[in-house]
Amino acid sequence: MKGLKKRLQQGETLFGCWLNLGSPVTAEIVGLSGFDWVLLDLEHGAGEPKDLLHQLQALEHTTAAPVVRVESVAKERIHRILDVGAEGVMCPRIQTVDDARKAVSAMHYPPKGVRGVAKMVRATGFGHHFESYVQDAQENILGILQIETLEAMNHLDEIAKLGGVDVLFIGPADLTMALGIYGQLDHPKFVEAVDRIVAAAKKAGKSTGILLFNPDEFPTYQAKGIQLIACGSDATFVANGAGAMAKKLRGLRKDSNT
C-alpha cells in the first residue's frame, strides 16, 4: 500500500490520471512519470479484468497508487479487484444510498462489510502478510463513489456520511449531461453542483475528487478544497504525442516531386 487514503486524510492534494488502454507497458510508463495515483478503468477502458494483474504488477515499483474503476457495485467484482491488489475502488453512477451502501460494504471484511476472505491472493502477499492486511484494510482501502446523476445529487448528505465512503468523485461529463449542459463546466448549474458536492463531503469529513479536461483548471478546483484531481489518460498522452510528431514531420517533409 502506498498510503493514498492516509495522505488524503492528512489534507494533501493528490494528482492522477486515467489508464484506459489496458496495457502494462503504458501503466508502467505513466506510473514512472510522477503521478500520485492512477485509475485503471474497467468501465470504459479497453482492458479486460484479466489485464488488471499485469498492470498492477507494472505499477508496483512506481510511486503511483493504483485505483480501479469497476463497472457496477457487484460485490464479486469488487472482491476480485481488491484481492488482486488495488489500493482503492471507484464505483460509477451511484444513484441511491442503497447503491452506496452496497459498494462500500463489498470493500470491507465483516463486521463492517461483506467482503469475502481469501488468504492466497496478491493483496496479502499470497499469505505472507495476511493478518496485517486484514487488520489494516479498513484504514488503507480507499472507497470512491462517483456523483454524476441527478438522483445522486438528491442524496448527497446521506451518501457522504456513510462509513466506508472516503471520496465523492465528480464525473463532469455525465453530470453535465444529466444537467442538460453537456461539457459546459463554467455553467452556473455545474458550478453549483460542484459546490454542493464539496460541501456535503466536507460536512461528513470526507474528500472530493474530479476529472479535469484542462490542467490549467487545477488551481481552481484545488482552491475549492478538492483533493483527488485527475487529468489526462494514457490514450490521450499517446494520441497527442503521436499527432504532434506526425504534424511536425509533415511540416518538415519536402515534396519529392519538386
Predicted local distance difference test score (pLDDT) of residue 74: 87
Cα 93 from Cα 90, distance rounded (Å): 10
Predicted local distance difference test score (pLDDT) of residue 257: 57
Could you give all domains of the chain from N- to C-terminal order, each with its CATH number? Answer: 4-248 (3.20.20.60)
Residues in the chain: 258
Predicted local distance difference test score (pLDDT) of residue 256: 63
Cα 108 from Cα 114, distance rounded (Å): 6
Are the C-beta atoms of 102 and 74 separated by less than 8 Å?
no
**61 in active site:** no
pTM listed for this prediction: 0.94
Predicted local distance difference test score (pLDDT) of residue 252: 94
Cα 144 from Cα 3, distance rounded (Å): 15
Tens digit of each residue's pLDDT, the chain (258 residues): 899 999 999 999 999 999 999 999 999 999 999 999 999 999 999 999 899 999 999 999 999 999 999 998 889 999 999 999 999 999 999 999 999 999 999 999 999 999 999 999 999 999 999 999 999 999 999 999 999 999 999 999 999 999 999 999 999 999 999 999 999 999 999 999 999 999 999 999 999 999 999 999 999 999 999 999 999 999 999 999 999 999 999 999 987 655
Among 44, 54, 128, 155, the one annotated catalytic: 44
